[in-house]
Amino acid sequence: MFSGSIPALVTPFRDGSFDEAAYRSFIDWQIEEGSSALVPCGTTGEAATQTFEEHFEVVRVCVDQAAGRVPVIAGCGSNDTKSAIKNLKKAKEMGATAGLVVPPYYNKPNQEGIYRHFEAIIGECDLPIVLYNVPSRTVSDIMVSTMERLRAFPTVIGIKDATGDLARVTEQRAACGNDFCQLSGNDDLALAFNAMGGVGCISVTANVAPRLCAEFQAAWAAGEIDKARQLHERLYQLHKAMFADASPGPAKYALTRVRPEFPGELRLPMTWPSEAARKHVDSALSHASLLKD
C-alpha cells in the first residue's frame, strides 16, 4: 500500500500555536516535490507535546490539504491501550488512510502484553495499522514472533522499522510475507534496508530534501542502483545531521535555511539546536547542494 519517500512531518508552531497556513503550504511543497505519502503527528511532529484536540486538528488539516493526492498515515500510538484505541478511531474519522502505532512506551510490557495491546486496538477499529518499532524510544521491541502473530490480522499491513537491525527485514519477510510493507525508520540505512527487501522510508530528512529523497527511492525502485547510491551519498551527511541534536530541532533549523518562511519554533522540552549542531546542518545542506547562493 505504501512505498517511496514518506516524510514524518514536522509541525509548524508560531507563538505557541499550530500554524495551519504554514502547514498547508508545507504539505503542498512535499507533494509537489514527490513525497509518496505523509505522516502527521509522529515523533518528528512533536506529537508528545500536543493535546488530543491539537493532535487531530493537525491530522485533519493534513488530510484536507493532501486531498487524496497522497495517502496520510496518522500517528496514533499511546502507552495506554484505551487512548490508542481512541486515537485510531479519531484518525479514521479524520479520513486518514492508516494509523502509525508504536508498542506501549515506558510501561515496558512483555511480548504477550504488546500482542494484546494491538489485539485490543484492532478489535475496536478497522483502520489499517502500520506498526512502528523503535526500541530506542519505547524501550519495548516488537519481536518477529509477535509481529508474525499480529500479521494474522488483516488490518496490520506493514512496519516502520527503526530498530537499526537490517537482518530484521529478512526475518520479517519470512514471518509476515513478501506483501508485508516494510518501511525503514532510519534514513541512513534506507539504501541497505531496500536491498534487504524494504520498499521505502518514513523519513526525517525528507522534511528538508523531499525531492532528493523521492528521487533516491524512485531510482532504487527502477533498478537504477548506481543512481540510488549516488543520491544516498549526497544525502548521507544530512541524514546524520538531522540527529546532531535532539530531533526535530535540527530538521526545523534546516527548514528555516531552505524555506526561510517556515517557522522554526519548537515546544518544550524540545529546544533550538546547539551552535555545533547548526554548523553540522549547514555543512550537510551545502554538501547536498540545498543552500541557495
Over 70: is that where the pLDDT of 118 sits?
Answer: yes
- What are the pLDDT digits (tens) for 2-23? 999 999 999 999 999 999 999 9
* Whole-number pLDDT of residue 197: 96
How high is the pLDDT of residue 153?
98
Q: Tell me: the pLDDT tens digits for 141-196?
A: 999 999 999 999 999 999 999 999 999 999 999 999 999 999 999 999 999 999 99
86, 90, 92, 160: the catalytic one is 160
Inside any domain, residue 101: yes
Residue 212 falls within a domain, yes or no?
yes
Residue 144: the pLDDT is: 98
Is 242 inside any structural domain? no
Alpha-carbon distances of 227 from 39, 142, 209, 212, 216, rounded to whole Å: 26, 34, 17, 11, 8
Residue 160 among the catalytic residues: yes
Exposed/middle/buried for residue 234 (C-beta within 10 Å: 0-12, 13-18, 19+): middle
Judge whether 191 and 221 are in contact, CB under 8 Å.
Answer: no
pLDDT at residue 204 in the model: 98
Q: Residue 250 — very low, low, confident or very high, per pLDDT cuts 50/70/90? A: very high
Q: Kindly state whether residue 103 falls inside one of the protein's structural domains.
A: yes
Angle, in degrees to the nearest 10, between helices 275-287 and 225-241 = 160
pLDDT at 270 over 80: yes
User: Using alpha carbons only, how large is the chain's radius of gyration in Å?
Assistant: 18
Q: How many other CB atoms are found less than 10 A from the CB of residue 17?
A: 10
pLDDT digits (tens, 9 = 90+) for 119-129: 999 999 999 99
Is there a domain that residue 255 lies in? no
Enter the C-alpha cell of residue 267. 515546544
139 sits in the region (left: phi over 0; alpha: psi -120 to 50; else beta) called left
Across the chain, which distance is largest between two alpha carbons, in Å? 55
Q: Are strands 98-101 and 73-75 parallel, antiparallel or unpaired?
A: parallel
The Cα–Cα gap between 127 and 157 comes to 10
Contact 2, 71 (CB under 8 A): yes
Number of domains within the chain: 1
Q: For residue 13, what are the contacts with CB-CB under 8 A and spacing of at least 6?
A: 19, 46, 263, 265, 266, 267
> What is the sign, positive or negative, of the torsion defined by CA atoms of 175, 177, 180, 182?
positive
The cell for 257 is 535555511
Question: What integer pLDDT is reported at residue 82 of this predicted model?
Answer: 97
**216-231: per-residue pLDDT in tens?**
999 999 999 999 999 9
Host H or E run for residue 111:
helix 111-124
Give me the chain's average pLDDT, please: 97
Q: Among 90, 92, 115, 132, which one carries the catalytic annotation?
A: 132
The CATH number given to whatever domain includes residue 17 is: 3.20.20.70
| Percent residues over pLDDT 70 in the chain | 100
How distant, in Å, are the alpha carbons of 61, 124, 228, 252, 287 from that of 242?
25, 36, 20, 9, 14
82 catalytic, yes or no? no
**Enclosing domain of residue 125:** 4-224
DSSP state of 208: T
- Residue among 74, 186, 48 at smallest CA distance from 129: 74
- What local confidence, expressed as pLDDT, does residue 201 receive? 98
Assess if residue 215 is contained within a domain.
Answer: yes
Question: 263 and 291 in contact (C-beta within 8 Å)?
Answer: no
Query: Distance between CA atoms of 236 and 125, rounded to whole angstroms?
Result: 39
Q: Distance between CA 84 and CA 100 in Å, rounded? A: 10
Residue 293: predicted pLDDT: 57
209 within some domain: yes
Query: Is there a domain that residue 83 lies in?
Result: yes
Q: Residues 50-104: pLDDT tens digits?
A: 999 999 999 999 999 999 999 999 999 999 999 999 999 999 999 999 999 999 9
Residue 292: pLDDT band by 50, 70, 90 thresholds? Answer: confident
